[in-house]
Structure 1
Amino acid sequence: MSPRDARAEAPPTTTTARPRVVIAPDSFKGSAPAADVAGFLAEGVLRARPDADVVRLPMADGGEGTLDALVAAWGVAERRTDTVDALGRPTPARWAVSADGALAVVELAEASGLADVADALPQPLLATTFGTGLVLREALDAGVGEILLCLGGSASTDGGAGILRALGARLVDSDEEPVPDGGEGLARVARLDLAGLHPRARAVRWRLAVDVTNPLVGDRGAARTFGPQKGAGDADLEYLEAGLERWAGVLVDAAGVDVRDLPGAGAAGGVAGGLHAVLGAELEGGAALVADAVGLADAVEGAALVLTGEGSFDSQSVGGKVADQVAAVAARASTRPPVVVIAGQVLLPASRAAEAGITAAFSLATGPATLAELVVHAPTRLADVADNVARLVLR
């Protein structure tokens, strides 16, 4: 057979088998929930390959959208509580209870989230988690034996003090007077009085789904790392840092646990640290928890392509967030499918992405654009970029 004949009989490069595409994005905060993002990406994939077997698995990392993902995966029943937001304004908050009444799932962002106070001037020193504490108190009153609190997207840096106060604890200064709410109060707290704590608060199992590994204090701590996105200026950051340092000492005196350097203690403005010290709460990766709940590992086995995404793909994305978890799960699959990130903006160098097991990352922007413009055009752009990626990979 001549070389020409051999080329003529070579198999075509086009994939004839029905390819499976797993779509497992996080929400695009301020733009679209994860389920909608998955739908837009699926639309683009099916334009390129109408025969594709598309599996949609909306993801979350412990922050916004985690409750939705777990309600869908576990079939827990939603409830609603009237509470207050991070600035003390009335607001409803969703949470969920398992069918047997044993487990409550609470998402901090529902009551104490940054997105819910975006209409007001930032108040980084006053914002509190008290509203989430009211939801947790209702869960305890309902008789559950385990509480899964999903952290992330918080508006406050109060070390969980607001939650503890809502559960009956008292934070007092050196004159035994109550301190103000929020991070401002932490700078003045001298003692944590747990005598009035809800009688069931220490009787249940507490699990915290965290989206970061940052410690409570220091250069990577809750204040200095996440304070700026909550509106904190340089002076505010120093004040909040000093408050968290003081709070850490108070927690040692009250509970005998030092959480200053505990990985993940800085999650949700230090909530993880405060609840670990006082309630013995267990910290676990939120993205890994959701991945297990939705069956991501089984879905990616045999997949030809895995798509994930989030609003901003940056250095935090490969530190335990959704994209990082999706890539880790795909890397363990026998077929090791390519993992492509589609994000509002891509700030992580390709080399760093590759180190995390991510094949490529694409931005929604086709040129200079404002955030508002990207939000408006996100549905169309998500579908278009997914179409292009599918045409390239699923040939």
Structure 2
Amino acid sequence: MTRTVHVPLGARAYDVRIGADLIARAGAEIAPLLHRPRAAIITDETVAGLHLGTLQTALRAEGIASKALILPPGEATKSWPHLTRSVEWLLDQRVERRDIVIALGGGVIGDLVGFGAAILRRGVRFVQMPTTLLAQVDSSVGGKTGINARQGKNLIGAFHQPSLVLADTSVLDTLSERDFRAGYGEVVKYGLLGDAEFFDWLEANAHRLRDDIEARDHAVAHSVAMKAEIVSRDETEQGERALLNLGHTFGHALEAATGYSQRLLHGEGVSIGCALAFELSARMGLCPQETPSRVGAHLAQMQMPAGLRDVPGELPDDETLIALMGQDKKVVDDRLRFVLARGIGQAFVSDAVKTADLHAVLSQSR
């Protein structure tokens, strides 16, 4: 069964289609969007080996010609050199504003290709085809696109909504255990920030997501529906959308500190960040200590990292980590803003965090 979540943004509205074998049906899904029967695909080497052939066969079945650019895998690809390469390749393919660019891959490819589509000819249409759990529940939806800078993650980018998102949940079977678990960091975030009943459901059912397609589709669709609802009210993150960054101020700093390497995947950083956000909230008296204990117990059950001690190798000192947090996009007037919580499902944004509390939580987490 294919589920559809609509993202209601007026003239920029689109559907997120969620279900098994959607890549094999991609030609029929994408054909109604096309003004001429051609598409440009950008993917990475890992995903190309697994899914590019299926996608191009599906497009050919509908009479759609396609060419593909294959980039290296990994977070380092979200950079100026690969953005330049991608945009210039699209220009060589004579991609026009009314054409479709397909981003086939995880969050790195989706963010990079979406940003390329945003700036190419001042905006061309694109389709997100996320192939990781993390991308399906989070980065492919909502129109945030961008690349990383030396100073921090996602600091260069644009809001550019896709025309369609095809989340093929059957391809998640090809993920490694580590990549699947990392994606779960973004799933659990939705329960923690605004839906206590969803967190209850995850406590009872999250262990089934790897092997039970029905449970997996429910988790993906529920996460996407939550994000779509928030994005529809605050598309460019002027207020409520910042809640979606629960755990990210800590997580992005840790990713920068580890050089955007395989030492720490994005979803692992978010998992640690969520645990730290609840520890910080309890330390500030916003919620009882039982709350971060419950969060930590669930992350442990799912074999997710929950503290700085879970990051392999040496980390910089607390001052350096806090300085890295200062590059976060939620910083306003040089004041750090954190997503904190009064309980599970009760997140809010605050700039009232004392440095002493921050130091204490980081120190305890080591």
The normalised TM-score by structure 1 is: 0.29
**Higher helix content, 1 or 2:** 2
Q: Which has the higher contact order (CA 8 A, sep 6+)?
A: 1
Higher alpha-carbon Rg: 1
What is the TM-score normalised by the length of structure 2?
0.31
